[in-house]
Amino acid sequence: MPFEVVPIKPQIGAEVRTDVATLLGGERAADLRRLLEERVVLVFRDLFLDDAQQVAIARTLGTPLKEGGGEDGVYRISLDGAQNPKADYLRGAFYWHIDGSTQEKPYYATLLRPVVLAPTGGETEFANTAAAYEALPDEEKRALEGLRVVHSMERSLWYVYPEPSLAQVEAWQRVRPKSCPLVWAHASGTRSLLIGATADYVEGLSPEESRRLLVRLREFATQPPFVYRHRWRLGDLVIWNNTAAMHRALPYPADCGRLLIRTTLAGEEAVH
């Protein structure tokens, strides 16, 4: 029954004070979806969920994806290869990015809960790409109109492997790149920037101009007023709106056993 919403920063984040039964019952699902639109990141403390409860809550908000061959909605975020055979790829998460940016419909939202904490570091940061777009000078908004950016998995993996083998690059390129508008105009009327580590180049610009623009926008969007840094505590649940946020993990000791459980909700809005 309890349901109290406390904003965290003016431009991003809200703590939702509620209980597990209320979340499992789904009676506040419409409120939570509206809050994801308005606040982008929602923080819940002291829930101490198990995997099944996390997936059940996810189902009240959308459609959990099956990722990495595990059970539906249960994906283990760990740098330990025994926990996650694709652990190496997760090192791309240390750079600002949007999940599923190469999909026809980028993922709607993600639920994340810690199981093992890092002794130091390992916070997750979120940047509100809709608030950042709104805050751009009008002249710059006009300059972005009609620009398209190509997103690729390959681009983000160059951050992790600056000197890859040809076989690695060929494997990365099997995930098809996707041309997207640089400014995503959502059905709701909200506009957000489609940038981050998967943003390879802006079509029609010189390589230098394109790199400058993408860095400029990333720098602008990740200024402190648009960013919430979450320091994990056991018992937490964080849900973020992936269509209006970039996120990244801060560094932590690779062998510390840090483990988060992720439930990703399928995209609902196509980007053309």
Quick one: 156 or 190, whose CB is closer to Fe ion? 156
Quick one: 93 or 127, whose CB is closer to Fe ion? 93
Quick one: 28 or 247, whose CB is closer to Fe ion? 247
Q: Which of residues 181-210 bind Fe ion (CB under 5 A)?
A: none
Quick one: 28 or 262, whose CB is closer to Fe ion? 262
Q: How far is the CB of 215 from Fe ion (least distance, A)?
A: 20
Both structure tokens of 156: 């983000």
Q: Which of residues 74-93 bind Fe ion (CB under 5 A)?
A: 93
Q: How far is the CB of 69 from Fe ion (least distance, A)?
A: 18
249 touches Fe ion (CB under 5 A): no
Give how many residues touch Fe ion by CB under 5 A. Answer: 2
Comparing CA positions, the residue from 236, 243, 266 lying closest to residue 40 is 243
Q: How far is the CB of 112 from Fe ion (least distance, A)?
A: 9
CA distance 215 to 231: 26
Quick one: 35 or 93, whose CB is closer to Fe ion? 93
For residue 122, give every residue at least 6 positions away whose Cβ sits within 8 Å of its Cβ, in sequence order, or none: 232, 249, 250, 251, 252, 256, 258
99 touches Fe ion (CB under 5 A): yes
The one segment of 44-52, 97-105, 130-138, 178-186 that binds Fe ion by CB under 5 A: 97-105
The one segment of 24-32, 67-75, 94-102, 237-245 that binds Fe ion by CB under 5 A: 94-102
Quick one: 11 or 264, whose CB is closer to Fe ion? 264
Strands 109-116 and 259-265 turn out to be antiparallel
127 touches Fe ion (CB under 5 A): no
Q: Is 23 helix (H, G, I), strand (E, B) or coil?
A: helix
Q: How far is the CB of 29 from Fe ion (least distance, A)?
A: 23
Strands 12-18 and 41-44 turn out to be parallel
Quick one: 40 or 93, whose CB is closer to Fe ion? 93
Give me the sheet containing 124-128, strands edge to edge.
227-230, 124-128, 245-249
Q: How far is the CB of 159 from Fe ion (least distance, A)?
A: 13
Q: Is 209 helix (H, G, I), strand (E, B) or coil?
A: helix
CB 12 within 8 A of CB 226: yes
Q: 80-88: long-range contacts at Cβ-Cβ below 8 A with a sequence spacing of 24 or more?
A: 80/255, 80/257, 80/259, 83/259, 88/160
Q: How far is the CB of 230 from Fe ion (least distance, A)?
A: 13
Q: Is 226 helix (H, G, I), strand (E, B) or coil?
A: helix
CA distance 246 to 95: 9
The footprint of Fe ion (CB under 5 A) covers 93, 99
